[in-house]
Amino acid sequence: MAMSSTYFSTYLVALFFLVVAGFDACSASRIGLGSRLLARENQTLVSDNGTFALGFTPTSDEDDRLQLAIWFAELPGDRTIVWSANRNSAVSNNAILELDTTGNLVLMDGDATTWTSNTSGAGVEGATLQESGNFIIYDDVNRPVWQSFSHPSDTLLPNQPLSVSLELTTSKSSPRGGYYALKMLQQRTSLSLALTYNMPETLYNSSPESYYNYSYWNGPDISNVTGDVVAVLDEAGSFGIVYGESSDGAVYVYKNDGDDGGLSAASTRSLVLRRLIIESNGNLRLYRWDNDINGSRQWVPEWAAVSTPCDIAGICGKGICNLDRSKTNASCTCLPGTYKENGGSLCSENSSLTGKCDSRSNYQPSQFRISTVQQTNYYFPEFSVIANYSDVENVTKCGEICLADCECVASVYGLDDENPYCWVLRSMDFGGYEDPASTLFVKVRSNGLEGNAKGSGESSKGSGNQQTKVLVIPIVLSMTFLVALLCLLLYYNVHRRRSLKRTLESSVILSGAPLNLSYRELQIRTWNFSQLLGTGGFGSVYKGSLADGTLVAVKKLERVLPHGEKEFITEVNTIGSMHHMNLVRLCGYCSESSQRLLVYEFMKNGSLDKWIFRSNHSRDKLLDWQSRFDIAVGTAQGIAYFHEQCRDRIIHCDIKPENILLDENFCPKVSDFGLAKLMGREHSQVVTMVRGTRGYLAPEWVSNRPITVKADVYSYGMLLLEIVGGRRNLDMSFDADDFFYPGWAFKEMTSGNPMKVADRRLEGAVEEEELIRALKVAFWCIQDEIFMRPTMGEVVRMLEGSVGINMPPMPQTVLELIEEGLDHVYKAMKREFNHFSSFTINTHPSSSQATCSYSTMSPR
């Protein structure tokens, strides 16, 4: 009976496991036989530490069609897919993934089998999703029977081997008709890692592989080796080839600067997420996930195999790739006989125009003609070559050779060390590119206007042509005169408008004002806005470079007030006219149509918060006391300048560490000033949309009192406390005594223990007299009553020690918290910690509205 009871209990436990694993697999990393994932219930299998998830996700083309995939589970934004079982055969919402009782993993869409692992009868025990991103089906001795690492899609993860028999590929249902691949190419005496553009095998039937693919990038050759040859991305971010019996040989394709351990196919897991992907445009690119790019979280490119887009075959389908002046952006033009499908950029063949003849016996060259494309070359494999002539007399002869050959569809003329060549081609599948030294001849069908005038009218044709010439010449001359007159009028009109625009701009832009740059120029200078530095309340910031090589930060304004162009230029001119060593300099701007961009000087050391707050990414960043105090003084000087020394007084409205930038010498510079509406000296209140960050907001924001420059003084005081303490003013990771830094710091300062509140990482290396001075100034700045706060000019003098500082009273807010009981407040905030969100405060009069978002909490 006991045995029966034990058996029954075991059966219940097993049944419970199957139910959990099969129908609620959002937290499990393993599944057993009979388990299922249902697409309509959005079920997923998650690795032990939550790094990866396996489940159903929409395809990139259709939201209602799904693919079975593995992706990074914890990253924000769109899912980053690293493996897919059925990207070329999407399924519906009724799809089911089942590890059946025979050990076969099957993807079913209704009654149809879309994909299978083919592991029936292999002694399968279960499956697991590992922290490496590898999905493994294993047998009863935990040995892999099948694994996703051995069936890659378009992505290689760290420690995932790419052997000679494997390849990374883009989707084979690409609109190009072909697809891209990263694979090992077998040469006669060596192996090489290569990127290839591949045409569908069905077009070439049983032809050798070299007939239907073209290699446009090659890694290092590996020759005369024994053992396995494997391409691998290691945990340190290096990519290369490992070979030999014991994998003791290694050749780098890309070596990360921080990789000192050597290339290895199996290394310890890194905390940095990386992926190597062959992108849909044919480039191979290595990405690193960065949580700390000016406060944003995103994938950052570390390396790319191809630097110029037109070096990639098939990038324009069968068309020609053209580079702009920057050599970074490409456009596509179509050859004669091809056209752009559905308004896209890829060129497809028009079979009614191409120069392919039907049969050799009936070939008539008169039915075709040669179209010349200057300064153009073409990618072609060895199979495409009919002949190569090195004795052509001139360029035109190369086209004539193609026209005379039925099988020829195009020919390429060029010079090789000043020796002419003419390649005669039977197919054009891999696209072309600009080449000043080459000429491309394309054979197309005649349009029917040539060679049709033969017959009995030969004698009369000459006189007819002569009469036509007599009529045509006066008409052509008249039309030429009219066109020239119209062009002259158009030029005059355009020139007049440009002169008026220049006069308008010169009237509102003072000398020394920012440069007026075109949107196109900024696209080029920022490499088409490809290097994102961060995002903020007013828009995104991109890295760029001016013509002289000066690095800049380009802010793309996204939510600006609907100013006209003249008003915008006037405000930009006001901001740009402010020159101070502690303000970020505005170098230029763009105002075209709805586009509004500002160009600032680039700050090498980023924002202050990266240097004073602890984080996993800034453990080696620690400012000494002297640097901190100098930054505090410099920041105060910058704010004092636009408060008191400018013709147009400015309220910043968002003083915080993230808006204090540091140059290569750690000189502080205040950024984002003037992006709130400029305030004239005669006004005391900002009547526009302004922003702030909770935790730095003055009490008058909440109490609807007038907003003056003293609001910035309050924010500066909170910033100064954080510089001193090296921590956020409110940090729930501390205990109830010191979670609210201003209250704890004031208590310790008045108790005669100011050194206790300095950043602990400084280990006492602090100038005590400067510390006390900074604390006193900070507490004067954060007084609730506006009249009690000093001006920023007074703040500078107090910090510099040129005036004495009385002991400040405890700020009313701090006093109220202490009277209420910090322990009680701590517990209440602990409960509400995850429930704070953005808020809006309306100030009076009704024309004044302040919208404030925040990134740190406050007990206020």
Answer yes or no: do 133 and 66 share one domain.
Answer: yes
Cα 236 from Cα 272, distance rounded (Å) = 8
Of 492, 513, 696, 529, which is closest to residue 587 (Cα–Cα)?
A: 513
For residue 363, the model assigns a pLDDT of 81
For residue 548, the model assigns a pLDDT of 76
Please give the share of the chain, as a percent, with pLDDT higher than 90: 35
- Residue located via tokens 């899609």: 153
Question: What is the CATH classification number for the domain harbouring 92?
Answer: 2.90.10.10
Cα 364 from Cα 358, distance rounded (Å) = 10
pLDDT at 497 exceeding the cut of 90:
no
And the tokens for 601?
A: 């000087």
Question: Is the residue at 76 inside a domain?
Answer: yes
Cα 263 from Cα 247, distance rounded (Å) = 10
For residue 855, the model assigns a pLDDT of 30
Of 506, 663, 519, which is closest to residue 591 (Cα–Cα)?
A: 519
Which of 219-223, 226-230, 300-304 tops mean pLDDT? Answer: 300-304
Answer yes or no: do 571 and 658 share one domain.
Answer: no
- Cβ atoms of 229 and 183 within 8 Å: the answer is no
**Residues 587-602, mean pLDDT to the nearest whole number:** 87
Q: CA dihedral defined by 279, 282, 284, 288, rounded to 10 degrees?
A: -30
Question: Is the residue at 551 inside a domain?
Answer: yes
Answer yes or no: do 147 and 179 share one domain.
Answer: no
For residue 724, the model assigns a pLDDT of 94
Answer yes or no: do 690 and 832 share one domain.
Answer: yes
Answer yes or no: do 221 and 353 share one domain.
Answer: no
And the tokens for 645?
A: 């020394």
For residue 797, the model assigns a pLDDT of 94
Which of 63-67, 155-159, 436-440, 453-457 tops mean pLDDT? Answer: 155-159
Per-residue pLDDT tens for 706-742?
888 999 999 999 999 999 999 988 877 777 677 788 8
Question: Residues comprising the binding site for ATP?
Answer: 556
Cβ–Cβ contacts within 10 Å for residue 516, how many? 17
Cα 603 from Cα 561, distance rounded (Å) = 27
More confident residue, 167 or 836: 167
And the tokens for 121?
A: 């009868």
Amino acid occupying residue 173: S
Q: Coil, strand, or helix at residue 797? A: helix
Per-residue pLDDT tens for 88-142?
889 999 999 999 999 999 999 989 999 999 999 999 999 999 999 999 999 999 9
Per-residue pLDDT tens for 437-484?
899 999 988 863 333 323 333 333 343 444 445 567 778 888 888 888
Cα 555 from Cα 675, distance rounded (Å) = 11
Looking only at the bridges linking them, the beta strands covering 347-349 and 284-293 are: unpaired
Cα 119 from Cα 124, distance rounded (Å) = 7
Answer yes or no: do 370 and 424 share one domain.
Answer: yes
pLDDT at 165 exceeding the cut of 80:
yes
Question: Is the residue at 376 inside a domain?
Answer: yes
More confident residue, 722 or 703: 722
For residue 446, the model assigns a pLDDT of 80
For residue 176, the model assigns a pLDDT of 60
Question: What is the CATH classification number for the domain harbouring 627?
Answer: 1.10.510.10
Question: Is the residue at 240 inside a domain?
Answer: yes
For residue 54, the model assigns a pLDDT of 95
For residue 859, the model assigns a pLDDT of 34
Please give the share of the chain, as a percent, with pLDDT higher than 70: 76
Continuous H helices in 285-375: none
Answer yes or no: do 732 and 828 share one domain.
Answer: yes
Looking only at the bridges linking them, the beta strands covering 515-516 and 586-592 are: parallel
Question: Residue 83 pairs with which residues in a beta bridge?
Answer: 70
Cβ–Cβ contacts within 10 Å for residue 515, how many? 14
For residue 201, the model assigns a pLDDT of 60
State which of 92, 125, 151 marks the end of a domain. Answer: 151
pLDDT category of residue 499 using cuts at 50, 70 and 90: low
DSSP notation for 215-280: EEEEEEEEES--SEEEEEE-TTS-EEEEEETTS-EEEEEE--TT--S---SS-PPPSS-EEEEE-T
And the tokens for 134?
A: 């590898």
pLDDT category of residue 267 using cuts at 50, 70 and 90: low
State which of 445, 470, 502 marks the end of a domain. Answer: 445
Question: Is the residue at 230 inside a domain?
Answer: yes
State which of 419, 445, 471 marks the end of a domain. Answer: 445
Question: Residue 416 pairs with which residues in a beta bridge?
Answer: 419
- Cβ atoms of 25 and 37 within 8 Å: the answer is yes
More confident residue, 630 or 692: 630
pLDDT at 501 exceeding the cut of 90:
no
Answer yes or no: do 121 and 97 share one domain.
Answer: yes
Q: Coil, strand, or helix at residue 824? A: helix
For residue 355, the model assigns a pLDDT of 59
Cα 336 from Cα 355, distance rounded (Å) = 10
- Cβ atoms of 353 and 444 within 8 Å: the answer is yes
pLDDT at 83 exceeding the cut of 50:
yes
DSSP notation for 656-686: SGGGEEE-TT--EEE-STTSSPP--TT-SS-
Greatest distance between any 2 Cα atoms in the chain: 120
Give me the catalytic one of 154, 234, 405, 654.
Answer: 654
Question: What is the CATH classification number for the domain harbouring 596?
Answer: 3.30.200.20
Answer yes or no: do 144 and 123 share one domain.
Answer: yes
Burial 736-775 (b: 16+ CB within 10 A, else e): eebbbbbbbbbbbbeeeebeebbbeeeeeebeeebbebbb
Residue 119, domain extent: 21-151
**Residues 509-537, mean pLDDT to the nearest whole number:** 78
Question: Residue 328 pairs with which residues in a beta bridge?
Answer: none
Residues 6 or more apart from 636 whose CB is under 8 A from it? 716, 792, 795, 796, 799
List C-alpha distances in Å: 128 to 74, 79, 281, 690: 18, 20, 33, 52
pLDDT at 284 exceeding the cut of 50:
yes
- Report which DSSP code applies to 807: P
Answer yes or no: do 147 and 161 share one domain.
Answer: no
- Could you tell me where the beta strands, DSSP code E, fall in 558-648? 586-592, 595-601
For residue 177, the model assigns a pLDDT of 67
- Cβ atoms of 443 and 403 within 8 Å: the answer is yes
Cα 798 from Cα 186, distance rounded (Å) = 75
For residue 206, the model assigns a pLDDT of 47
Question: Is the residue at 368 inside a domain?
Answer: yes
Q: Coil, strand, or helix at residue 203? A: helix
Question: Is the residue at 13 inside a domain?
Answer: no
Cβ–Cβ contacts within 10 Å for residue 414, how many? 18
- Cβ atoms of 266 and 246 within 8 Å: the answer is no
Query: For this structure, is 654 an active site residue?
Result: yes
For residue 337, the model assigns a pLDDT of 74
More confident residue, 207 or 536: 536
Per-residue pLDDT tens for 736-769?
677 788 888 998 999 999 999 999 999 999 999 9
DSSP notation for 25-65: TTS-SEEETT-EEEGGGT-EEE-TTSSEEEEEEE-SS-TTS
Of 671, 553, 530, 617, which is closest to residue 292 (Cα–Cα)?
A: 617
Cα 777 from Cα 775, distance rounded (Å) = 5
Domain count, the chain: 5
Helix (H) or strand (E) holding 375: strand 368-378
Question: Residues comprising the binding site?
Answer: 556
**Residues 524-552, mean pLDDT to the nearest whole number:** 82
Residues 6 or more apart from 104 whose CB is under 8 A from it? 116, 117, 118, 119, 120, 124
Question: Is the residue at 710 inside a domain?
Answer: yes
Cα 47 from Cα 148, distance rounded (Å) = 14
- Report which DSSP code applies to 4: H
Answer yes or no: do 674 and 788 share one domain.
Answer: yes
Question: Residue 443 pairs with which residues in a beta bridge?
Answer: 370
Angle at the Cα of 428 from the Cα atoms of 410 and 154, rounded to 5 degrees: 160
List C-alpha distances in Å: 195 to 192, 214, 278, 309, 533: 10, 8, 9, 13, 30
**Residues 156-177, mean pLDDT to the nearest whole number:** 85
Q: Cis peptide before 845, with omega less than 30 degrees from 0?
A: yes
Q: What is the mean pLDDT of the chain?
A: 79
Q: Coil, strand, or helix at residue 93? A: coil
Residues 6 or more apart from 817 whose CB is under 8 A from it? 740, 743, 825, 859
pLDDT at 850 exceeding the cut of 70:
no
For residue 245, the model assigns a pLDDT of 67
For residue 4, the model assigns a pLDDT of 41
Answer yes or no: do 701 and 818 share one domain.
Answer: yes
Cα 774 from Cα 768, distance rounded (Å) = 10
Helix (H) or strand (E) holding 126: strand 124-129
For residue 829, the model assigns a pLDDT of 65
For residue 24, the model assigns a pLDDT of 40
Cα 77 from Cα 299, distance rounded (Å) = 11
